[in-house]
Structure formats: C-alpha cells, structure tokens
C-alpha cells in the first residue's frame, strides 16, 4: 500500500452519510456532529443513542436500506456495517461519485481511514498506525498522557513548549529530539506504547488479568468530553467493555479501542430502553468473564443515575466495583450558562430534585410544598415534560410567579441554549421555543445575575 496523505476535513455545514445504525455508528456519529457535519444515517434500525439524536433533530434518519443515490451530494461516507457485501456496494457507489469512503469492516477496501484521536483544547492529535489500530491507539494514548502532564500543559493553549520554544511544534519537537537520541522523553514513551500495541503485550489489552473481572461506574460529566475526571478517562482507556447511557459525552466513545465491546444502554425518556435488570446482568456477566467493564454515565453516577442499584447488583454477585464521581449537571450546566446556584447575598442554599414524576404523581418523593417555601435555588433535572405542573405547584404553594427561572438545553455542549423567563412564564416559553431534553431547570434569584462567561 502506498503512503497515506494526512488531512483534516472542515465538515461544518456539509452533508455526511453514515450507513448503519449499530454500535460502530454510535461511536462515529458524535465526532461528525462535533465537527458541524450535517449527518444522515441510513439504516433500518438505530441504537437507542442514535434514536435520541434523531428525535432531537441532531441527525436525519432514513429508516431503510442503502441506495446508491444516497451518496449524491455528500462530502464523506462512513460505512458502519459488518456485512462485507453491503459495505462493498456503498464504497463502490462512493468511488463512482468520487466521494471518500471509510469502511469499518475492511480498511484495505476503503478510500479513507479514521485515525485514533485525542483532543486537548485547540490541539487535536490524530494517529494512524499503518493498518494496526492497536498501535495507533497505544501511541495516541501516550500522546494524550504527555499533553495532560506538566510538559504538555501549555501546548493546548499555544504557550511555550517543554523546550521553551514557541507553540506546539516547539514542545513536541523537543520531545522528538530526546527520543531520537535514546533519552527518556515523550517520543520514547510513544515508541514503547506503539510497540506494545503492535505486539499485543500486557497493558495494551489487559492480558494476565485475574479470573474475575471488575466494574467501574464512571461519571462522564454534563456533556463536554473534557469535563470527565482524569481517573475516569484513564479507566475508559483500559476498558474491555463500555456500557454507556445516552447522556454520556459521545466524543468519548470515539476514543475507544476498536476491540472494545460497546453496549448501548441508553435510557431515552418515554422511549426505548433496556431495563435496569438487563443492565445489571450485562455488568455482572462481562465481569465474570474476566473483563474490565466501565459503566459510563452522564453527570455523576449517584445523582439520579441509578448507580446505587448497579453497585448493589455487583456486590451481590461478588464482582469488585469502583465508583468514580463525575461533575454533576445540576451545578455545572447552570454555571456554564452564567447561573451560579449560590451567590453571596442572593442564595445561601440550593436544592436538586428530579422532575421525571409530576408533583401529583403518587410515587413522587419530593415535598414540593416545602420546596416552594424555601428562598434558595431550585434545580430540577429531567423535569422538562412536567415543567408546567412543577411551575404551577411551586406558585400555588407560595413561590412568587415573578421568580426568575431558566431552562438550559444540552448544557456544556455545542447545542447549548438558554431560555430565561419568570416562573409563571417559563413552561409556556420553553414550549414555544421548542426546548427539548436533556434540559436543566433553574428557579431562583440567581438566574437574574446574568454572569457572562468568557
């Protein structure tokens, strides 16, 4: 094979076709959306996570099999099916129309490859391993570790690098010189990581593991993939299996090793979902096979994430389990939108409640009457559908109708939007504006502060 020509694509506003609606597409689509591509997915069926994107209007879904005319007008095609014959039809149609095509089933038959990618601020590093995805991932992870450490801390911001030279080239160039001379340095580490990946040594795939595996419940944060904790990101890189919810940042899935099993356990409100028992069964089953399982959850595992139920299920099955806290959307999303949940002289308390059940629902555990009498901030998660009833109940129990209120949709992500109104008007205005889940509702005088973000 001839040498590859590396290239970065500007896809903002340009149509991209994805053929297939399974786990591979679930991993690839978020990166395309983050690049601003106009994504059409052609597949008879979708995973719950892709269903959620389609329902939210983030992608266009054609619920049928591929037709050659689907390629017309597109800038890039991603084939995310494992049927070689079906994939060949797609790549042939793309070849005839001179459109680059990525194939998940057979990279040698594709006209473009997707690299292993890591992102740190403005710096994006893409690694191609010469056809060996494990080598590419091992090298990518070593670079990611370098960028996250003291030597690479200034690179994402374009500050002087490790050698005191200006910009990213200076910092990485210094590491390259050290590696070339056989000294310890970033590139020497990359070489070792790449070799380990190429040979399949322990560490690249977790060989030599104990008979019983383990489970880690990892909070992925509110949506921005950079808001996951360092420990959480490290465990994802080590995982054999990742069981993921819809609200976990999709870009994190694009960084998984190709051989990682991805289980889409997306819980779409009022739509298709795996039962909690099924999720528990998957966690225990994979761990008993000796695998390391990461349960990747949006926000924090213990803030309306059913993390407790999963820990209990693992403990009862004798499976070791670790909990990695995450940045909860209850605080982070309002903060990024310029709304502090507390502020000196304005609010000395805040309460986080679930709004997935209406105030009048017999199973609701929220004391809405007591909540209405408090002066602090009220943050409602999963409450958009029941917002009219929630607002009416708070007002009926004493919260003034002119209390400032806000709804923040898809906070910390590319699709973030904030709507501010009064408590008496917020539900109707959110409906008229077409606000959709996931959304955080904030009620209290802190909404009126209007703190602007840089």
Which residues belong to the active site?
Answer: 245, 267
The token duo for 392 is: 């009416």
What is the DSSP secondary-structure string of 269-321? TTS----HHHHHHHHHHHHHTT-EEEEEESB-TTSSS-HHHHHHHHHHTT--E
Say how many C-beta atoms besides its own lie within 10 A of residue 312's C-beta: 12
Contact criterion met (CB below 8 Å) for 412 and 336: yes
Token pair listed for 443 = 């009620």
Sign for the pseudo-dihedral over CA of 174, 149, 129, 34 = negative
Closest of 299, 237, 243, 287 to residue 266, by C-alpha: 243
Closest of 247, 449, 434, 422 to residue 335, by C-alpha: 449
Give the span between the Cα atoms of 64 and 41, in whole angstroms: 10
For 120, which DSSP code?
E
* E-strand stretches of 346-386: 350-354, 377-381
Residue 419: strand pairing partners: 407
d(CA 246, CA 399): 33
Distances (CA, A) of 243 to 240, 262, 311: 10, 6, 14
Query: CA-CA distance, 401 to 427, in Å (whole number)?
Result: 12
> For residue 17, what are its two tokens?
């076709």
Neighbours of 3 (CB within 10 A): 6
| DSSP annotation of 332 | H
The answer to whether 404 and 445 have CB atoms below 8 angstroms apart is yes
Q: State residue 111 phi and psi, 5-degree precision.
A: -105, -5
**What are the distances in angstroms from CA 68 to CA 59, 65, 96, 292, 368?**
20, 10, 10, 41, 56
Instruction: Check the CA dihedral 245-247-251-252 and report its sign.
Output: negative
Q: Which of 212, 229, 230, 211 is nearest to 221 (CA)?
A: 229
């Amino acid at each position: 094979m001839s040498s590859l020509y590396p290239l970065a694509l500007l896809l903002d506003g340009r149509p991209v076709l994805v053929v297939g609606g399974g786990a591979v597409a679930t991993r690839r689509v978020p990166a395309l959306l983050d690049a601003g591509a106009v994504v059409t997915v052609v597949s008879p069926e979708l995973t719950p996570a892709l269903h959620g994107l389609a329902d939210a209007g983030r992608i266009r879904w054609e619920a049928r099999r591929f037709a050659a005319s689907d390629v017309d007008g597109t800038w890039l095609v991603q084939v995310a099916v494992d049927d070689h014959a079906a994939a060949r039809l797609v790549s042939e149609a793309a070849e005839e129309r001179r459109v680059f095509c990525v194939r998940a089933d057979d990279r040698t038959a594709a006209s473009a490859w997707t690299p292993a990618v890591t992102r740190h601020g403005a710096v994006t590093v893409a690694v191609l391993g010469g056809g060996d995805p494990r080598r590419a991932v091992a090298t990518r992870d070593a670079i990611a570790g370098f960028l996250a450490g003291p030597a690479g801390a200034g690179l994402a911001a374009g500050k002087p690098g490790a050698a005191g030279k200006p910009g990213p080239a200076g910092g990485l160039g210094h590491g390259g010189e050290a590696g070339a001379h056989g000294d310890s340095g970033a590139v020497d580490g990359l070489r070792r990581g790449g070799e380990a990946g190429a040979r399949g040594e322990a560490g690249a795939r977790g060989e030599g593991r104990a008979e019983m595996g383990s489970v880690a419940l990892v909070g992925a944060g509110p949506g921005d993939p950079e808001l996951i904790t360092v420990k959480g990101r490290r465990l994802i890189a080590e995982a054999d299996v990742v069981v993921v919810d819809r609200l976990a940042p999709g870009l994190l899935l694009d960084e998984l090793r190709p051989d990682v099993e991805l289980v889409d356990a997306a819980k779409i409100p009022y739509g298709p979902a795996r039962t909690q028992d099924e999720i528990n069964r998957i966690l225990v089953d994979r761990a008993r096979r000796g695998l390391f399982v990461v349960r990747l959850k949006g926000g924090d595992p213990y803030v309306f994430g059913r993390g407790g139920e999963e820990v209990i299920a693992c403990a009862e099955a004798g499976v070791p389990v670790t909990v990695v806290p995450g940045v909860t959307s209850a605080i982070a999303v309002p903060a990024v939108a310029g709304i502090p949940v507390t502020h000196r002289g304005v609010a000395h308390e805040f309460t986080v409640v679930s709004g997935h059940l209406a105030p009048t629902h017999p199973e609701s555990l929220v004391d809405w009457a007591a909540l209405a009498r408090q002066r602090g901030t009220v943050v409602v998660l999963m409450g958009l559908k029941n917002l009219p009833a929630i607002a009416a109940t708070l007002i009926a129990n004493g919260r003034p109708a002119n209390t400032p209120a806000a709804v923040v949709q898809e906070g910390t992500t590319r699709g973030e939007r904030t709507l501010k109104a009064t408590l008496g008007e917020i539900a109707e205005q959110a409906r008229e504006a077409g606000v959709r889940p996931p959304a955080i509702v904030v009620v209290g005088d802190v909404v009126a502060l209007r703190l602007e973000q840089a």
